[in-house]
Amino acid sequence: MKSSLKSIAAGLAAGILAWSTHAAETVKVGVLHSLSGTMAISETSLKDVLLFTFDEINKKGGVLGKMIEPVVVDPASNWPLFAEKASQLLEQDKVAAVFGCWTSVSRKSVLPVFEKDNGLLFYPVQYEGEELSKNIFYTAEAVNQQAIPAVNYMLAEGKKKFYLLGSDYVYPRTTNKILKKYLLMKGIPESDIVEIYTPFGHTDYQTIVAAIKQFSAGGKACVISTLNGDTNVPFFKEFANAGLTSENCPVVSFSISEDEFRGLPAKDLVGHLGCWTYFMSLKTPANKAFVDSFNAWLTHPVVTGVDYKVTVDPKNRVTCSPMNLSRIGVYLWKQAVEKAGTFDVDKVRDALIGQKFDGPTGTVTMQANHHLINNVFIGETLATGQFKIIKKLGPVAGEPFSDKFLAGK
């Protein structure tokens, strides 16, 4: 009996030792993206590229000698659920950092949680600015790195009428408020600026497209689109059905990247425009390595020996700006942790400022305002679902507050 008890005790001790050794050898990070609901069309690929990046780093020794262990949750395009899942990641799973959110309403939903629990969130998607939190690093395009350059391009092309169409939430409304002010400053009369919003998942665009057709009848009109998610599918189908094209009324979209073309009729978008800090078509060695490595990983997606299910067909996968910026966020965090010599949030936050990363578009730099200096590009949609880069705007410093970047315009 004593021998049996000793064996059990020895087994338990070995199990505890193995568990503690595993815990000591890994560092948990959170993945907070919608894998179901209306935003899954965009966010699922961000989860995939994050897992790819963790595996990429783990194969080179991890972070401070620890393997990255992802904790993946699905807030299901449900904004209050984002806050619940953020609390779970920070308070129960004790993650060192979180990478996630797409919509601004999801980011604003989790912001109080990150500030209360002093967590770190890396946010990789274009947004409206007018916000700065010590607990968030905004790796993506601010308004002055996407919306303003896009409008400047349309103005230079001779456009005089602007139809601002967006999904009904904070990012489109705030962005369009800034753009309207900017257009008025540029001499566009208020009568030539229209502002319309539709709910998430909206499908009936017949009335709106008819109004756009009438608005553009005199020429020199364009659409500035901040529609998000799968609602882009019925909009562009109706747009094409009405005989509207990139020639008689170009659309420049801020939420359609190469990845969204998985669910869009690319032939209906030929000639329409995008403005991002990355396009898959960039001809750089670093970009080729990124694209090739990601597609190779998709054939057997693992992280530290753990298999992960990729819910999107791995064939003909693409990369896009939010995916590139998600990956960059992970590397900036890794570098900051290594500089600080610890996963402590306060020390990592300080170490993040000034971090540089040589990525597919060149060097990006994290500023004291938690936004990147990044290159900006205008792209024209091709039938293949790729973009032809038609203008390079060079490095632009991200500025979240419109009163600063509008001053002197």
- Show the CA angle centred on residue 89, arms to residues 83 and 95, nearest 5°: 140
Model confidence at 303: pLDDT above 90? yes
CA distance 280 to 283: 8
CA distance 70 to 67: 10
148 belongs to a structural domain: yes
The whole-number average pLDDT for the span 278-288 is: 98
Helix, strand, coil percentages, rounded to 5, for the chain: 45, 20, 35
CA distance 59 to 190: 56
Higher pLDDT, 187 or 409: 187
Based on the domain organization, do 258 and 386 belong to the same domain? yes
Model confidence at 1: pLDDT above 50? no
Contact between 127 and 171 under an 8 Å Cβ cutoff? The reply is yes
Q: What is the pLDDT of residue 310?
A: 76
The distance of Cα 313 from the centroid of its chain, to the nearest Å, equals 20
153 belongs to a structural domain: yes
79 belongs to a structural domain: yes
CA distance 127 to 145: 10
Based on the domain organization, do 167 and 183 belong to the same domain? yes
Tokens 């060192």 belong to which residue? 96
pLDDT for 243-275, tens place per residue?
999 999 999 999 889 988 877 778 888 999 999
pLDDT for 312-323, tens place per residue?
677 889 999 999
Model confidence at 395: pLDDT above 90? yes
pTM: 0.90
Contact between 262 and 43 under an 8 Å Cβ cutoff? The reply is no
Based on the domain organization, do 381 and 250 belong to the same domain? yes
Q: Which of 93, 88, 13, 26 is nearest to 63 (CA)?
A: 26
Based on the domain organization, do 239 and 270 belong to the same domain? yes
7 belongs to a structural domain: no
Which pairs with CB-CB distance under 8 Å and at least 24 residues apart come from 150-154?
150/224, 150/252, 150/254, 150/273, 150/275, 150/378, 151/179, 151/182, 151/183, 151/224, 153/252, 153/273, 153/275, 153/378, 153/391, 154/222, 154/224, 154/250, 154/252
Based on the domain organization, do 45 and 95 belong to the same domain? yes
12 belongs to a structural domain: no
SS3 218: coil
Facing residues of 371 across strands? 138
16 belongs to a structural domain: no
CATH number for position 193: 3.40.50.2300
Q: Within 13 A of 52's CA, how many CA atoms are on the CB side?
A: 25
5 belongs to a structural domain: no
- The lowest-confidence range among 3-12, 133-142, 152-161, 373-382 is 3-12
Based on the domain organization, do 168 and 289 belong to the same domain? no
pLDDT for 321-355, tens place per residue?
999 999 999 999 999 999 999 999 999 999 999 99
Q: How many CB atoms lie within 10 A of CB 129?
A: 26
Based on the domain organization, do 228 and 330 belong to the same domain? no
- 261 DSSP assignment: G
The whole-number average pLDDT for the span 397-406 is: 96
- Domain around 217: 144-280+376-405
Contact between 40 and 77 under an 8 Å Cβ cutoff? The reply is yes
Dump strand ranges (E) for 234-386.
251-253, 273-276, 302-303, 306-307, 356-359, 362-366, 372-381
If one counts the domains in the chain, the total is: 2
SS3 212: helix
1 belongs to a structural domain: no
Model confidence at 186: pLDDT above 80? yes
